[in-house]
Structure 1
Amino acid sequence: MTSASQLRSGKTHRDENFPVASWIIHPRHRALILAFYNFVRTADDIADHATLAARDKLSYLDMLEAELLGHGDSQPETVNLRRALAERSMPPRHAQDVLTAFRMDVTKLRYEHWDEVMHYCRYSAMPVGRFMLDVHGESTSTWAASDALCAGLQINNHLQDCGKDYRNLNRVYLPRDALAAAGASVEALGAGRASAPLLQCLHSLATRTEGLLHEGKSLSADVRDIRLGLEISVIQAFAHRIVHLLRIRDPLSETVHLGPVELLLYSVGAVASEMTRRAVGRRPVSKPAAGA
């Protein structure tokens, strides 16, 4: 069997829509976070592989989980994460949850309604936030806000990549009932420009996603670790800007990603804002999402 590493797409933590183990995070945490990221990225690339058969994808994912639990040492990303977790006496449950999501990616190509998408986010996105909180020794009371933020980030990504996911993988995360309510078809995702009904559906889903991001607004203030709070504030700034673009643009034909200059400006602004907020002890104000 080919090494899972050889199935990687080439995407790294520097290609994500949000910072991964950036300079803001304390150096003592970065190796573990990057080990987790590389494990997740490898599994994600297997699930999205263009030519690998579904049964082979599932076999690879099963092998990654087995090695994560100590049964084998053939996959470097798995061994690195297992050892990094053992050094902190942390269980592998968050990594296992993410593997559940990637198995869903292999076997489930359509979602009927919002709750099904949220169920997917429970395994694809929420464990990542929970992992970060555990790494920093934060209370599980922060999980609710983290879950909302992570789900919002995940659905932002679904909306950004809806055309590519349909064309390349025949995978559609947009709920069937939302498409039907707008009078849009799945096939419209294959066009170079969104039809009016599809655009209505996309904008409606973006508005609903904005609501999730507002539910997670308190997270940067809820965490005790200052560096983690700053990192979260940057992620929140990126997410809110992206969802704003998704509410007004067509992801099939227009840019809905942030460029390097925007990333820098929003990072600096978010860090300054969070440092000021912590200095004066003010909590963030959660405003209702537009259209809510």
Structure 2
Amino acid sequence: MDTASSARTRKSTRDENFPVASWLIASQYRAPILAFYEFVRTADDVADHPTLQPLEKLRLLDQLEASLLGHNDTEPVALPLRSILRERGLTPKHALDLLDAFRLDIRKARYSTWDELIDYCRLSAMPVGRYVLDVHGESEASWPANDALCAALQIINHLQDCGEDFRTLDRVYLPLDAMQAAGADVADLNAHRSSPGLRRCLAGLAARTENFLDPTSSFAGDIRDWRLSLEVSVIHRLALRLTQLLQHQDPLSRRVHIGRTSALGITISALARRMSAHSDRQGAHQVRI
């Protein structure tokens, strides 16, 4: 395989669990976000490729990095992002952190504790939100809330896909100590229905992720860009709903997701709440003046 792009699947933004550069985002920011998405999606597909050997995967990830940093033009998918970073004076660090996360996926397949999983999310999830904030010119003061939200989104994905991750990639993102405490075993992930112990483990991790989202409830209100704050508000509400579903539904026996009708209802509700909060804040500001 000559380039990383050859490993690219047909997966697009529509296949993701959460919105990516949706219509809520202002048009001038969509191209930078989509360029980042295409670069990261390609790297992810390399790391998850079913037949490539680990050394070949690492070589392709290194090739992506070299093209992103301008050392060569071998990887076409890196060129739009490289150009955007240069034109807008943005750092490549967030993309480089994600490449390190994919390298870690190739080398590491188990996580012993929750803290170890969060450390993985520092590379695999948090940089995504930080990049979007940078594109919008938001302050780094918003990073802690972003990091918590992005980590929660990543863990939700791990819970949803725990069976497939184990069967197809031999990866287990569920903390091993949590599995042991619940009376579950890694082999339980190979079944078509969760064992009682695995069910307890998944429900407990979903509840912990819901609690992890608590500090992010005011995140949208701290974002200056109005349209981005709306998108973050929607994502937050969708994430909360998924953690609740995962506490009661079995991701091994069924796909745990939010249907279109429910997603639309959650979106409308989140937008209404955000607009109401914004209106109240504007009114309070005028009274103070």
Report Cα offsets for 1:13-36 as digits up to 9, x if no partner. Answer: 111111111111110000000000
Stretches of structure 1 lacking an aligned partner (at least 5 in a row): 283-292
| 8 Å contact from structure 1 (residues 149, 217) kept in 2 | no
The one-letter code of the counterpart of 2:207 is T
Across the aligned residues of Structure 1 and Structure 2, the Cα RMSD in angstroms comes to 1.0
| 8 Å contact from structure 1 (residues 147, 216) kept in 2 | no
Residue 73 of structure 1 is matched in structure 2 by 73
Residue 221 of structure 1 is matched in structure 2 by 221
Residue 141 of structure 2 is matched in structure 1 by 141
> Deviation at 1:191?
0.2
**1:27-176 → structure 2 map (5 Å cutoff):** 27-176=27-176
CA distance in 2, matches of 1:8, 1:260: 27
Residue 206 of structure 1 is matched in structure 2 by 206
> Deviation at 1:79?
0.6
CA distance in 2, matches of 1:92, 1:238: 29
Query: Does residue 258 of the first structure (1) align with residue 258 of the second (2)?
Result: yes
The one-letter code of the counterpart of 1:110 is R
Q: Which runs of 4+ in 1 moved over 3 A?
A: none
| 8 Å contact from structure 2 (residues 43, 61) kept in 1 | yes
> Deviation at 1:261?
1.9
> Deviation at 1:3?
2.3
Q: TM-score, normalised by structure 1?
A: 0.95
Residue 236 of structure 2 is matched in structure 1 by 236
CA distance in 2, matches of 1:261, 1:187: 35
Query: Does residue 181 of the first structure (1) align with residue 181 of the second (2)?
Result: yes
Report Cα offsets for 1:242-274 as digits up to 9, x if no partner. Answer: 111011111101331112222222112211111
Classify the secondary structure of the residue corresponding to 1:76: coil
Report Cα offsets for 1:209-265 as digits up to 9, x if no partner. Answer: 111111211110111110010000111111011111011111101331112222222
The one-letter code of the counterpart of 2:87 is E
The one-letter code of the counterpart of 1:44 is D
| 8 Å contact from structure 1 (residues 33, 132) kept in 2 | yes
Classify the secondary structure of the residue corresponding to 1:248: coil
CA distance in 2, matches of 1:109, 1:273: 40
Classify the secondary structure of the residue corresponding to 2:157: helix
The one-letter code of the counterpart of 1:174 is L
Report Cα offsets for 1:88-118 as digits up to 9, x if no partner. Answer: 0111010001111101110000001111100
Report Cα offsets for 1:94-144 as digits up to 9, x if no partner. Answer: 000111110111000000111110010000000011111111111111000
| 8 Å contact from structure 2 (residues 129, 150) kept in 1 | yes
| 8 Å contact from structure 2 (residues 63, 74) kept in 1 | no
CA distance in 2, matches of 1:211, 1:68: 37
Classify the secondary structure of the residue corresponding to 2:184: coil
CA distance in 1, matches of 2:151, 2:214: 11
Aligned length in residues: 282
Classify the secondary structure of the residue corresponding to 1:269: helix
CA distance in 2, matches of 1:30, 1:180: 43
CA distance in 2, matches of 1:116, 1:15: 28
The one-letter code of the counterpart of 1:58 is L
CA distance in 2, matches of 1:70, 1:5: 17
Residue 2 of structure 2 is matched in structure 1 by 2
CA distance in 1, matches of 2:39, 2:261: 29
